[in-house]
Structure 1
Amino acid sequence: MAPPQIAGAVFIGSGTCTACHADQAQFFDSSSHALLQDEGDPAKFIGCESCHGPGSMHLASFGQVGAIVNPRRSPETCFQCHLDKHGEFHLPNTHPVLTGKVSCADCHDPHRGDAVIAGGTQLASANDTCLECHAAQQGPFVFEHEAVREGCVTCHSHHGSVNPKMLRAANHTLCLQCHFQEQTVDGRLKIGGREHTAYVSRGTCWTTGCHEATHGSQVDSTLRF
């Protein structure tokens, strides 16, 4: 995709940016977005200015606000490449990125490390990102829900979802992705060795008066309350 444009500005290259923005440049080579860099003349068009637009007016005005594109203030720059996320933010339940209450950069660091915090040894840090806002779900709890330890994204679609609370599924099928056992009687549902057929017909596992403490409980090992 083409870099954002600024009327009257020309590209000056990432090397010029580092003179003032040393903090952002220090670890940029370790970042996912460093893959946008290139050698030689194309570097003027691939690098910092891929996201921030041509920097000549920003340089000439000694950093004047408005003379450069700041993706933290507008997600449209991010959507130039991340088209799928643009679509997800138009689903019924999302983080309020399009209304400006939350920025992509609140969760993703474009200048350092892996901008996509998920998977492998990074699961803990992914949860830390969520818990900066969702502190009530942090615990510690006497009785943990193992899925929380595995990652918030186990249950939640973090950019957007058709389901309430940005859940990956709307009903008990979400829970059954983990809490499932082989069924031996047709038409009957057992979970944890206990009959659940009537329970799941009433609604979701967390709205039928059963497992309402979905993130963890201080008093009940089955996370009822």
Structure 2
Amino acid sequence: MRRAIPGVFLSAVVIAWLAASGWVLTASATPAQQAAAPETAGGTYAGTEVCLTCHTEKADSLKGTPHGRASNPRSPLAGQGCEACHGPGKAHAEAGDATLIRRFGNGGLAPRASAEVCTACHVRGTHALWTGSQHEQRNVGCVTCHSVHSPRGDKQIKAATQPELCGGCHRQMANKFYRFNHMPVREGKMVCSSCHNPHGSSNVKLLKAGTTVDQACTSCHAEKRGPYLWEHAPVTNSCVTCHDPHGSNNERLLVAKVPFLCQRCHVTARHPPTVYEGFALRNTTSANRLIGSGCVVCHVQIHGSNAPSGKYFHR
């Protein structure tokens, strides 16, 4: 009996505090509340105060999150409380059976089922794009990245920063941020969602802008977009033909050094081994065109040219 007193007393204190702050709800919900809360078929609501007789540790972790703001009419706590997400809990409370309540995470609902619970409220923005996305196809659901009770970062994510969260799965991409040339993610100037939409996208690789890789890149690099009178085939194919957007040990995020990158395509160009007549380089022992920066010394408009004589991308 002596062991039971502290637990009962703690529950009473927690419930009193919740009642004062607007957390504790009655077992009967209004029709509007019932409509806003996903239901378990045939279930009966127990009320948040019943949940907290056992789950007292969840109160403190939830009250500082957006889901725990009873003053916000869009918050679960302004509606059905714990059961807004976990479903009617009377049967679970009476039997103590964990299978009689909605659970999330390991051993809980499948990603699609848990996403249906989340998107019952999160209907705005791009959340609905998750269905059919690459993340859904790989069983990456809402609770894979987000935590309702114990978030560590913005948007209730499970890591302190977005790159840390994404890098938990996409380690190869995250490692590229440590290459000599890289997206300024480590410097805090960009995050993964600067280019990608983790919930879903009509573009490849969950890219936010456009429907192709090029359209995503040129949403920032508009000066490379064109159209050009003389187009360069690799550019019209895809930016990633020549660039690695996450990071590279070569300049300008190139996948290989110049001229070796150029020679991946231009292997039979029959270019003369020396510069053209009349353009000899002085004070050198050789007039080899690879002196300096190689191909781009002359072919400066490598993304495309609008000059009448620009098919060689000289200007």
Deviation at 1:36, TM superposition (A): 4.3
Q: 1:66 to 1:140 in 2, by over 3 A?
A: closer
Check whether the contact 1:217–1:223 (CA below 8 A) recurs between aligned residues. yes
- The number of equivalent residue pairs is 188
Match of 2:175 among 72, 87, 102: 87
Name the counterpart of 2:134.
32
Check whether the contact 1:117–1:125 (CA below 8 A) recurs between aligned residues. no
Match of 2:295 among 184, 205, 216: 205
Query: CA offsets, 1:99-135, max 9 Å, x none?
Result: 22222122222222465169xxxx9611000001101
Q: 1:66 to 1:127 in 2, by over 3 A?
A: closer
Check whether the contact 2:134–2:206 (CA below 8 A) recurs between aligned residues. no
Amino acid at match of 1:179: H
The percent of aligned pairs where both chains have the same amino acid is 31
Name the counterpart of 1:3.
none
SS of 2:135's equivalent in the other structure is helix
Match of 1:116 among 205, 213, 222: 205
Name the counterpart of 1:188.
none
1:162 aligns with 2:249: yes
Gaps (5+ residues) in structure 1? 1-6, 38-45, 59-64, 182-190
Equivalent-residue separation in structure 2 for 1:115 and 1:51 (angstroms): 21
Deviates more, 1:168-177 or 1:108-117: 108-117
Deviates more, 1:138-147 or 1:66-75: 66-75
Deviation at 1:136, TM superposition (A): 0.7
Name the counterpart of 2:271.
194
Q: How does 1:123-202 map to 2 (within 5 A)?
A: 125-181=212-268, 191=269, 193-196=270-273, 198-202=288-292
Deviation at 1:204, TM superposition (A): 2.2
Gaps (5+ residues) in structure 2? 1-59, 63-102, 106-113, 275-287
Which structure is higher in RCO with an 8 Å CA cutoff and minimum separation 6? 1
Task: Please give the root-mean-square deviation of Cα atoms over the aligned residues, in Å.
Answer: 2.9
Amino acid at match of 2:120: A
Name the counterpart of 2:148.
55
Q: 1:72 to 1:22 in 2, by over 3 A?
A: farther
Equivalent-residue separation in structure 2 for 1:109 and 1:72 (angstroms): 19
Equivalent-residue separation in structure 2 for 1:28 and 1:74 (angstroms): 18
Name the counterpart of 1:101.
189
* TM-score normalised over the length of structure 2: 0.53
Q: 1:117 to 1:144 in 2, by over 3 A?
A: farther
Name the counterpart of 1:69.
157
Check whether the contact 2:204–2:211 (CA below 8 A) recurs between aligned residues. no
Amino acid at match of 1:116: K
Deviation at 1:194, TM superposition (A): 2.8
Equivalent-residue separation in structure 2 for 1:72 and 1:149 (angstroms): 39
SS of 2:314's equivalent in the other structure is coil
Amino acid at match of 2:128: Q
Equivalent-residue separation in structure 1 for 2:154 and 2:292 (angstroms): 54
Equivalent-residue separation in structure 1 for 2:166 and 2:212 (angstroms): 22
Equivalent-residue separation in structure 2 for 1:26 and 1:194 (angstroms): 54
Equivalent-residue separation in structure 2 for 1:84 and 1:223 (angstroms): 35
Check whether the contact 2:150–2:158 (CA below 8 A) recurs between aligned residues. no
Greater fraction helix = 2
